[in-house]
Amino acid sequence: MVNRTLLPNGVRIITEAYPHAKVVSVGVWIDAGSRDEHDLNCGSAHFVEHMFFKGTASRSARDIAREFDVLGGSANAFTTRENTCLHATVMDSKLPVLVELLTDLLTNSLFADEEIERERQVILQEIHMVEDVPDDHIHDLFAALLWGSHPLGRSILGSHEVVAAMDSKNLLDYVQNHYTTDRLVVAAAGNLVHADFVSLWLQAFGNLGQVGEPARQRRKPKQLPPSRRVYTKPLEQVHILQGTYGLSVTDKDRYGCLMLNVLLGGNMSSRLFQEIREKRGLAYSVYSYIASYADSGYLAIYLGVDRDSVNEALELTAREVRELQRNPVTDEELAHARDFVKSGLVLAMENMEAIMSRIARNELYFGKEIPLQEVLGAIDGVKADDIMRLSSMIFGKQELTCAGLGPLEKNGIDWAV
């Protein structure tokens, strides 16, 4: 059972108790990410996330690292285009210590100039590292084509120029503007008592300011005409990412879209994996995936292939996309996809961090708990006709936006889809 408490200042506390567990997974989620930035502060959300571990009034960066190590378990943080999260999984007896540590990081971080300068170099290296890994970099190149000048089209890490100029004032301004109490969700799963957990956070966050301005309205991205671009680079492989606009996180057809993705390229028995890798050996890596946001999303297909195999792989991809629009999938294929999705969801319920993340995302995007049985029932309700309808709706509206990275001339790809 999921319990929810709203603190007087707007902070939301969500828990799911598992008394048999020996651990508790805790995440402090902030409803702010890279899409809440603009051209002059892009990379702020990610930079702020790093700085939470670089010193408070009572702890040095080394102290923070040592305390997390002593707590055991695991601790980390991440930034997405819409959220930022600090999380840790510890033994249940260490929960009060963890809450105090996370509170200190979130409310007392110094953002000291010398630490900012050190961490700036780390983040610049991270940016360079992504640019040196083509099967990562292609996703940023594709997003820029798909979303254009909208913040969703920028790298979460930010640009080299903006990060190089970032200072304490920039970062503190971002925190002040976006880390408001109405955007904070504290989620936990494991061996805990909800009332006791709330008391810990009431002591920690109770003095934070009341909710002021109403929650901001994010600018919804426009759907742009399809774009195709080759980025020539001396690599061994050609990396292709092609896709188009899909569904938001909360769309009523989200489960059908999930099933469509699994059937197309979401696992080893998917059509793309079997046709392009297993039958023909054209690619080591081929898959499709969904990226969904609060108000938008996309479905994309990745190919990592030899230069001489690019056009053949693209033609096979186009054929499988067309096939899903024209003919219903078999009952057996649909049943296998259902089992794959449902098994993943059920197995995740054995992991406290996965449970914590699930209840947090439900709160952030739906404002309520979505019971697992409801999700499983909705997956069972997806029919072959739904797959055809969604295939036509997503892929049939316009040509795909495509990015190619590797040893190619600008006219070296025969875009088949």
Question: Is the pLDDT assigned to residue 389 strictly greater than 90?
Answer: yes
Task: Look up 49 and say whether it is catalytic.
Answer: yes
pLDDT at 307: 92
Q: Which fold has domain 2-205?
A: Cytochrome Bc1 Complex; Chain A, domain 1 (3.30.830)
Contact 397, 226 (CB under 8 A): no
One of 3.40.140.10, 3.40.50.2020, 2.40.128.50, 3.30.830.10 is the CATH number of 228-406, namely 3.30.830.10
Quote the pTM value: 0.95
Residues facing 185 on adjacent strands: 12, 29
Question: Is the pLDDT assigned to residue 9 strictly greater than 70?
Answer: yes
When the pLDDT of each residue in the chain is averaged and rounded to a whole number, the result is: 95
pLDDT at 216: 64
pLDDT at 417: 47
Q: Which amino acid is at 191?
A: N
Cα dihedral 51, 54, 59, 63 sign: positive
Report the distance separating Cα 262 and Cα 62, nearest Å.
44
- Reported confidence tier of residue 212, pLDDT bands at 50, 70, 90: very low
Q: How many Cβ atoms sit within 10 Å of the Cβ of residue 308?
A: 9
Those residues whose C-beta lies under 8 Å from the C-beta of residue 249, and which sit 6 or more positions away, are 292, 293, 294, 297, 361, 365
Q: Beta strands 297-305 and 74-79: pairing type?
A: unpaired
| Range of lowest pLDDT (1-15, 162-176, 400-414) | 400-414
Mean pLDDT score, 153-181? 95
Question: Is the pLDDT assigned to residue 208 strictly greater than 80?
Answer: no
pLDDT tens readout for residues 228-254: 999 999 999 999 999 999 999 999 999
- Reported confidence tier of residue 394, pLDDT bands at 50, 70, 90: very high
The catalytic residue among 16, 37, 49, 320 is 49
Report the distance separating Cα 315 and Cα 336, nearest Å.
26
Question: Is the pLDDT assigned to residue 315 strictly greater than 70?
Answer: yes
- Reported confidence tier of residue 209, pLDDT bands at 50, 70, 90: low
pLDDT at 311: 93
Residues facing 241 on adjacent strands: 302, 403
pLDDT at 214: 53
pLDDT at 412: 72
Mean pLDDT score, 148-177? 96
Report the distance separating Cα 12 and Cα 184, nearest Å.
6
pLDDT at 413: 83
Q: Integer distance in angstroms from the first to the last C-alpha of the chain? A: 46
pLDDT tens readout for residues 41-99: 999 999 999 999 999 999 999 999 999 999 988 899 999 999 999 999 999 999 999 99
Residues of the chain with CATH 3.30.830.10: 2-205, 228-406
pLDDT at 329: 97
